[in-house]
Structure 1
Amino acid sequence: MIIIKVLLFIIFFANLIKTFKSFIVNYAIIMITISIIGSGKLSYNLSEAFISNKELRLNEIYSRNNKNIKLFNKKIKFTNKIDSLSEADFYFILTNDDSIEEISKKIKTKNGMILHSSGTKGKDALSNHLNFGVFYPLQTFSFNKKIDFTKTPILIEGNSQKSLEKLKELCRILEVEFEEVDSKKRLHYHLAASFANNFTNHILSLTDELVNKFKLEKKFFIPIANETFKKFQSNKSKESQTGPAVRNDVKTLKKHEEILKKSNYLNLYKIITKSIKKNDL
């Protein structure tokens, strides 16, 4: 009786292993494979999103130098040979805009789709390939804060309906909000994003300098900054503009300029003040 139980257990265990192996094989077949070119901030954040998704497999990241590699997940494979990249479903070129076309020409693939994530470069920069397109996250990236891509809009473009459908499927797997836009429209988004992020961040960094210079409490500026962005979210930024410029309070403006006269920011203050007074694009 004991022998029969042992044999049944062995058979059950063998079938379990067989089923598990079959599952692994099938699972590996349906996974979407990805290779990344570049090791900057966007590469870091996207790699985190890819390796944490069970339906995606990050083959490797190509990087010409080792500067940022130590910041990436230790599980990721790196290579400095672009001509030896594994065959993948998607190749993400995440480098500076000027090198996109040069890198695109070095990638050898049979059926893979080549993508760049530039806000200003047209999709045709990749036209030496059969399948190509754009995957542009409208977001700011850094190494010290991982971005939640489920809260980041992605602007996509494909060279064909087939390429576009592949991109849409990738977006669905990543569970991101996406919108199909052409290169011209994407450039407009990029321009507006420069004001929303780059210029705004610069102004906030100047606020930091003033806070430090005059020994002010930074926490007192958080509520007013938050309220400013709430008004932007409700489409009321223009009509809710306040301050000495919109009131044409000349005496106050002169006092501000007097404080800034020995700084590098007086001209910027005057330009923004003039723009607010005009209140027109």
Structure 2
Amino acid sequence: MLQTRIVRTLTLAAAAQPGGVAHLSAASGLVRVGRSVYVIADDELALGRFRQAGDAPGALVPLFDGDLPCAPKARKAAKPDLEALVLLPAFAGSLGGALVALGSGSRANRQRGAWFALDEDGELHGAPHRVDLAPLFERLRPTFADLNIEGAFVSSGMLCLLQRGNTRAGENACIRAALDAFIAWLQGDAAAPSVVSMDFFDLGDLDGVPLGFTDGTALPGGGWLFSAAAEDTADPYLDGRCVGSVVGQVDAAGVVRHVERLAGAPKIEGIAAAVADADSLQLWMVTDADDRRSPSLLLGAELRLAKG
């Protein structure tokens, strides 16, 4: 059982709009870069920016124009469902790389994305660039009738997208596209990238509820780490009772080497990692309570690496 600690609550200096809440409540992905921790939430139109040091309230940086309804059902129907946040390495025109936020694709209005260029210190540079994800997602729908992209990371020259299997018949998958082709598409220089490969995963269940990917992060040497939650729902649109979450390690050959359940039953939706020493990783994870009144948490943990 993996023990976690609360690093901070994801409070904000101000709500995104009148009648809103001064915290993130549905955190769904995170990236640590420079002095900042960037967090997306699936029911916001903005990117959360927090400092790594201290616990001062964060700020929201708009990704899209407008406001979302405050009423829960209307907000759920209108939200862009930003589920994946990925850090791209430096490329021409963006010396510090870029942060890309991706909608899940689970509904027609959830096919929006946005990206910010980063400067060499990891700070946001310029205005957000909006992108229509439909051309990319159309390449995936023949395989995934219930498309639901929940995580993304970069590894070995590939953009890796994690499809969450939301039903007992649904399949969890890691979908790969060439990173250079993805960047060219973001910049408007090429068509949406083609799928290079897919790996499918049976993650098992917790207490009879199937596990589904919620995020992933690359590890040195070509392996990667994932978070997965057991949420009792048969529909990628509907939330369900979360019975718990796990963290798993996948090796460079695509084999799951180790899975560990988190103590308690947090719904982990985003994960980042750094090598602590030769045998362990430092983890950071964000939670989603599926309750707008409850702030999301940034959790920390230490994970022993699987060997052999």
TM-score by length of 1: 0.23
- Between Structure 1 and Structure 2, the one with more helix by share is 1
- Between Structure 1 and Structure 2, the one with more strand by share is 2
Higher-RCO chain (CA-CA 8 Å, sequence separation at least 6): 2
TM-score by length of 2: 0.21
